[in-house]
């Protein structure tokens, strides 16, 4: 007769163990995968790597009265080596390079960039900086008053000219780096285009900025141009000398004169000088008379010179029979 009782407890325990293992196999597999993943992550994170970053540059504490005239870089590129987990946490904004310009002189200065300027985490280091040197050009700020220059293109009409110019304001204040401001002599307006004007011109013109670094106190000026006819001199030769206010025949010597008149060129060009030069014989008795030569000036003209100044007039006793009967050779 067999007695199986000795084996039953062990088999029962083995079966329970097998059933327990089968019931938790999913959780165990998941736990194993998590453990493997953590191991891989930790080991991978500890491996070395290189990260390239664009880091801002801040220029601080520039002395009062000085200004940077060039355009130094706003960013610098750096390469940082170290564990990948630490590199992934780098923030370029927190690595900003702050350059202190409190004691910088005027002119060009070359500022060297070193790895120590970048606040990177421990176990990492800056291996490359591009550029590794920053050029800063500094100048003094100055101000001065300069005249405004009116830039004119074109011309008034023929025989017209610009007789006067008025600018408001006629001078402006300019400020900026001394190298630009001290080289200026005047501030130009934008071009004022003339197209044969015969009357006064009024305009509002913009001022031309000589350089982006230079500030001009006014942006526009009011312009007034006086447009007037060209004033010129013209000589008239061989002008007949008339004798006025006598009923008697006469003889005048010389019979012709030369006069020079000054006035608008357009009026002088079309002027007929006949009848302008005369002697006044009013109340003149028969006989010889030495009389001043007179000129009947057209409106807007003036006498510059005449020749002769006086003429010899002989009045005869015989009366004239008509207006043209009086001259004797």
Is the model's pLDDT at 74 over the cut of 50?
Answer: yes
pLDDT band at residue 209 using 50, 70 and 90 as cut-offs: confident
Q: Residue 138: pLDDT above 90? A: yes
What is residue 284's predicted lDDT score, i.e. its pLDDT? Answer: 82
Give the pLDDT band (50/70/90) at residue 328.
very low
> For the chain, first and last CA: distance in Å?
194
d(C-alpha 298, C-alpha 99), whole Å: 80
> Is 153 within 8 Å of 225 (Cβ atoms)?
no
Q: What is the pTM of this model?
A: 0.61
Domains of the chain, start order: 48-131 (2.170.120), 141-229 (2.170.120.40), 232-319 (2.170.120.30)
Q: What is the mean pLDDT of residues 106-121?
A: 94
- Answer yes or no: is pLDDT of 267 > 70: yes
The dihedral of CA 76, 81, 82, 88: what is its sign? Answer: positive
pLDDT mean over 153-158 = 95
Asked whether residue 323 carries a pLDDT value surpassing 60, the answer given is no
Pick 14 or 271 by higher pLDDT.
271
Q: What is the pLDDT of residue 48?
A: 79
Residues 6+ apart with CB under 8 A from 106: 66, 138, 139, 140
Query: Pick from 207, 60, 71, 63: which is nearest to 141 by CA?
Result: 63
Answer positive or negative: Cα dihedral of 74, 131, 86, 119. negative
Mean pLDDT of 305-316: 95
The Cα–Cα gap between 322 and 329 comes to: 17
Assess whether pLDDT exceeds 60 at residue 179: yes
If we measure between CA atoms, which residue out of 234, 250, 260, 246 comes closest to residue 311? 250
pLDDT of residue 273: 95
Which of 219, 129, 205, 130 is closest to 174 using CA atoms? Answer: 219
Mean pLDDT, residues 152-174: 95
- For residue 220, the model assigns a pLDDT of 97
pLDDT: which is higher, 84 or 1:
84
d(C-alpha 255, C-alpha 278), whole Å: 10
Per-residue pLDDT reduced to its tens digit, 6-19: 454 555 555 565 66
User: Does residue 32 have a pLDDT over 70?
Assistant: no
Tell me what pLDDT residue 329 has: 39
Which of 9-13, 152-156, 260-264, 266-270 bottoms out in mean pLDDT, i.e. has the lowest?
9-13
Q: What is the pLDDT of residue 3?
A: 47
Percentage of the chain surpassing pLDDT 90?
77
Determine the pLDDT at residue 298: 94
- With 70 as the cut, is the pLDDT of residue 160 above it? yes
- In this predicted structure, the answer to whether residue 307 has a pLDDT above a threshold of 90 is yes
Looking at every residue in the chain, the average pLDDT score rounds to 88
The pLDDT value recorded for residue 45 is 43
Look at residue 217 and tell me whether its pLDDT is greater than 90. yes
pLDDT on residue 92? 94
The band of 255, judged by pLDDT with boundaries at 50, 70 and 90, is very high
Where residue 283 falls among pLDDT bands split at 50, 70, 90? confident
Does position 86 have pLDDT exceeding 70, yes or no?
Answer: yes
Structure token digits, residue 102? 């409190």
């Amino acid at each position: 007769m067999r007695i199986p009782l000795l084996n039953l407890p062990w088999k029962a325990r083995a079966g329970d163990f097998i059933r327990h293992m089968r019931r938790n196999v999913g959780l165990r597999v998941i736990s194993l995968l998590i453990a493997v993943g953590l191991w891989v992550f930790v080991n991978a994170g500890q491996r070395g790597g290189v990260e390239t970053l664009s880091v801002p540059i801040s220029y601080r504490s520039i002395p009062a009265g000085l200004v940077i005239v060039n355009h130094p870089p706003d960013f610098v590129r750096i390469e940082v080596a170290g564990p990948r987990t630490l590199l992934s946490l780098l923030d370029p904004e927190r690595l900003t390079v702050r350059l202190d310009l409190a004691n910088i002189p005027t002119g060009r200065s070359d500022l060297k960039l070193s790895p120590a300027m970048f606040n990177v985490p421990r176990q990492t280091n800056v291996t490359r900086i591009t550029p590794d040197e920053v050029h800063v050009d500094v100048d003094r700020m100055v101000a001065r008053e300069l005249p405004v220059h009116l830039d004119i293109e074109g011309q008034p009409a023929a025989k017209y000219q610009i007789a006067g110019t008025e600018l408001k304001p006629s001078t402006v204040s300019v400020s900026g780096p001394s190298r630009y401001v001290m080289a200026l002599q005047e501030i130009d307006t934008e071009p004022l285009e003339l197209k044969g004007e015969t009357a006064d011109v009024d305009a509002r013109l913009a001022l031309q900025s000589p350089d982006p670094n230079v500030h001009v106190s006014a942006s526009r000026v009011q312009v007034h141009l006086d447009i007037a006819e060209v004033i010129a001199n013209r000589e008239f030769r061989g002008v007949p000398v008339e004798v006025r206010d006598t009923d008697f025949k006469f003889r005048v010597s010389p019979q012709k004169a030369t006069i020079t008149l000054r006035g608008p060129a357009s009026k002088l060009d079309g002027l007929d000088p006949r009848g302008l030069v005369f002697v006044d014989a009013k109340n003149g008795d028969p006989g010889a008379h030495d009389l001043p030569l007179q000129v009947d000036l057209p409106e807007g003209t003036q006498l510059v010179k005449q020749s002769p100044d006086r003429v010899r007039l002989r009045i005869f006793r015989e009366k004239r029979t008509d207006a043209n009967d009086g001259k004797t050779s």
